[in-house]
Amino acid sequence: MNATVNATLTTTGFAALDASYHALRTVVAALGEDDLGRPTPCTEWTVAQVLRHAAGDQIGFAAFLDGSSGPEENPFAPSATPPQDPKTFLEQALSRSAGAWAGVDPAAAEVAVPVPPNKLSAQVGAGACALDAAVHAWDIAMAVGQPSPLAPELSAELLVVARQIVEPLRQFGAYSAELLGQDGDDAEAQLLRYLGRDPRWGTVSAVAV
């Protein structure tokens, strides 16, 4: 992954992953208490549930990489109870994920990951982890009226990764069906539509987890 990222944010050796962490941190840092119960593009979940899901996924990646314990709750059945301190809650998950990825050789041909087929190259595996963080940052941002956290270069890189890993995940309900592209779609819109999300969410309905 070659996303351009401020060097002070790079901690894992995978630039797109660090950029995605930053996006998720930034969005969550701006949440107010009243935001946590808002609906999101993940139509079954509130902001609090998307946050819990995203944090659980990051812990899941860490567990596969370093053999540590997995998330305490099923990320696909997240509690609606808001974390007492969303920033700290997220940071605990991202710190575990970052620590695990920092120990991975970016040139490794195969690492363990919690997405089919459970073995990917280090670059694609880190991209899968980045995709998860970035798209849920977008979900939360849209739910509370924040600007999109998806930069053009990051979106383009994550779309390449998504096309390699997402299709097997659709059968498990991890992503909705791809939406038809529209004239003028930029990299962000292409990525979101591929993941079953409507880039215009907030003015029209969209479904995706």
Within-domain flag for 62: yes
* Predicted pLDDT of residue 206: 42
Within-domain flag for 200: no
Angstrom distance (rounded) from CA 29 to CA 113: 27
Residue 161: its H or E element: helix 152-170
Q: Is the CB of residue 4 less than 8 Å from the CB of residue 116?
A: no
Task: Judge whether residue 205 has pLDDT over 60.
Answer: no
Burial level of 161, CB count in 10 A (0-12/13-18/19+)? buried
Other Cβ atoms less than 10 A from the Cβ of 184: the count is 6
Within-domain flag for 71: yes
pTM of the model: 0.91
Give the model confidence (pLDDT) of 162-204 as tens digits: 999 999 998 887 888 999 999 999 999 999 999 999 999 975 4
Give the model confidence (pLDDT) of 120-156 as tens digits: 999 999 999 999 999 999 999 999 999 999 999 999 9
Task: Judge whether residue 4 has pLDDT over 60.
Answer: no
Higher pLDDT, 3 or 84: 84
Within-domain flag for 185: no
Enclosing domain of residue 134: 10-152
Largest CA distance in the chain: 45
Task: Judge whether residue 5 has pLDDT over 80.
Answer: no
Within-domain flag for 103: yes
Tokens of 137: 């940052």
* Predicted pLDDT of residue 207: 44
Within-domain flag for 209: no
Within-domain flag for 86: yes
Give the model confidence (pLDDT) of 27-66 as tens digits: 999 999 999 999 999 989 999 999 999 999 999 999 999 9
Which residue type is seen at 149? P
**Number of domains within the chain:** 1
Q: Are strands 111-112 and 119-120 parallel, antiparallel or unpaired?
A: antiparallel
Within-domain flag for 203: no
Residue labelled with tokens 């592209």 = 181
- Cα→Cα distances 104→18, 111, 112, 187, 205, Å: 14, 8, 10, 28, 39
CATH number, domain of 107, equals 1.20.120.450
Give the model confidence (pLDDT) of 67-104 as tens digits: 999 999 999 999 999 999 999 999 999 999 999 999 99
* Predicted pLDDT of residue 203: 58
String of DSSP letters for 2-62: -----GGG--SS-HHHHHHHHHHHHHHHT--GGGTT-B-SSTT-BHHHHHHHHHHHHHHHH
Instruction: Please name which of 170, 74, 68, 62 lies closest in space to residue 126, comparing C-alpha atoms.
Output: 62
Q: Is the CB of residue 108 less than 8 Å from the CB of residue 70?
A: no
* Predicted pLDDT of residue 174: 83
Residue labelled with tokens 């779309």 = 159
